[in-house]
Structure 1
Amino acid sequence: MSAELRVEGLSYSVDGHELVHAVDLTAAPGETIGLVGPNGSGKTTLLRCVYGTLRPTAGHALLDGADLHTMTHKARAQRLATVPQDGQTDFELTVREVVAMGRSPHKRFWEADNAADAALADAALDRVGIRPLADRTFPSLSGGERQRALVARALVQQPALLVLDEPTNHLDIRYQLDILTLISRSGTTNLLALHDLNLAAYYCDRLYVLQAGRVVASGTPRDVLTPGLLAAVYEVSAEVSTHPTTGAPTVTYLP
């Protein structure tokens, strides 16, 4: 299941300082949309406004036309799952218990997990490659293992929209590719922030480039990732070629 996301004129300010300015963004059902831009460009703040940790000071985030910020927490969690950057928990829960938490939006208060819930959790653990770690405590995991557990929890939530902030953080290259492939094939609508432009070019249908809280470019990776834009936004010299196997634009940075 997937849904249409529309971000309309969304802004967020703190103490008169505007961190996100009048962002318009769309994601069609099933699309994978990437947010790219240098550090401090507003990617994480925008994502937090979409998934509800922050309330926009102007504008809206709409999922199939419904304002995400007027939904109850439970109703929003039934439609939207998030993997925040560097998600942490100090609770001595097992990995399986953390992943099973993704079922809570679909259950009554204190309702126990059943066999179907357990099967969904085990399947998600298999999909992200950490089933052997299921009985380990979450705090005992490495950063990359924690990241995969949080992706599994989001999948167990069975959302229409996945919002992910740097989902490849702490992952070695094999698991970066595995996780992004899994996300892109999940059947959900996906909005994710990425630092690696080559991963963004390969896995995202469209990109939005943020600079100082504003969208300065949007479109397909081929349209967006140009030497001129990289010089203007990232202040680097780069060549952009077409990968001979994948056909995706490939950025090569120059000294």
Structure 2
Amino acid sequence: MSASLTLTGITYETAGRTLLHGVDLDARPGETVGLVGPNGSGKTTLLRCVYGTLRPAAGRVLLDGDDLTALGPKARARRVASVPQDSPGEFELTVREIVAMGRAPHKRFWEQDSASDADAVDDALDRLSITCLADRAFPSLSGGERQRALVARALVQRPALLVLDEPTNHLDIRYQLEILGLIRALGTTSVLALHDLNLAAYYCDRIHVLKAGRVVASGTPHEVLTSELLAEVYEVAAEIAVHPVTGAPAITYLPPA
């Protein structure tokens, strides 16, 4: 299951400041689309406008042509799953219970979990390599373990659109690669914010670059990730090569002169 996402003219303002300036971007069905840009560029704010914790001052968020801002929380959650950057640790629930929460949008109030729900939870725990954590209390987990549990919850939700804000945050290299590989293999339309440009280059079909709340470049990794753009947006010198194994752009940062 996948869907097309279209953002048109997204503007967000708070406390007299404009954080997003008429952002337009899209994600095609089944694509993995990356948002990159320096800290404060608007990545998290834009994702929150997509999954509904912030309401834009102007613009539209369309999923297969339907305005997501017009949907109620439960209807939106049937179609969009999110993994935020910072996971709250105060849930007094086990990992299995946290992951099972992903089935809630598809169930009536007080409806008990079915055998198929339990199977979906078991499958997600296994795919994220956290079956051994199933009975652990969520607050007792490390940051990386919490992140994997929240990704598992999003998988169980079975959305048409998956929105992830720094999904590799707190993870060691092995789990960074496993989670990004899993996201690509799902076939779901995915939009994710990433700091690591080499990961974005390899795992994303297309990349949108944000700077000061505006999209300054969009395209494939080869089109977007150039030394000129990195100098303009990140103010760093870098050499861009083609990785001999993956064929993706490979970025080497150079020390200041």
**TM-score relative to the length of structure 2:** 0.98
Deviation string 1:163-205 (CA, Å, 9 cap, x unpaired) is: 0000000000000000000001111000000000000000000
For the pair 1:62 / 2:62, whether they are aligned, the reply is yes
* Separation in 2, partners of 1:74, 1:240: 44
Q: CA deviation at 1:110?
A: 1.0
For the pair 1:192 / 2:192, whether they are aligned, the reply is yes
Superposed CA RMSD: 0.6
Match of 1:92 in 2: 92
* Separation in 1, partners of 2:72, 2:48: 16
Aligned ranges for residues 141-220 of structure 1 at < 5 Å? 141-220=141-220
Residue identity in the other structure for 2:227: P
Deviation string 1:47-103 (CA, Å, 9 cap, x unpaired) is: 000000000000011000000000111110000000000111412100000000000
Match of 1:78 in 2: 78
Q: CA deviation at 1:139?
A: 0.5
Residue identity in the other structure for 1:159: P
Q: Which blocks of at least 5 consecutive residues in structure 2 are unaligned?
A: none
**TM-score relative to the length of structure 1:** 0.99
Matched position secondary structure for 1:144:
helix
Q: CA deviation at 1:15?
A: 2.5
Matched position secondary structure for 1:69:
helix
Residue identity in the other structure for 1:50: V
Matched position secondary structure for 2:78:
helix
Residue identity in the other structure for 2:144: G
* Separation in 1, partners of 2:11, 2:158: 29
Residue identity in the other structure for 2:241: S
Matched position secondary structure for 2:158:
coil
* Separation in 2, partners of 1:97, 1:16: 40
* Separation in 1, partners of 2:7, 2:170: 29
Q: CA deviation at 1:21?
A: 0.7
Q: Which blocks of at least 5 consecutive residues in structure 1 are unaligned?
A: none
Percent identity of paired positions between Structure 1 and Structure 2: 73
* Separation in 1, partners of 2:91, 2:6: 35
* Separation in 2, partners of 1:85, 1:154: 13
Moved over 3 A (4+): none
Residue identity in the other structure for 1:157: Q
Matched position secondary structure for 1:185:
helix
* Separation in 2, partners of 1:88, 1:127: 22
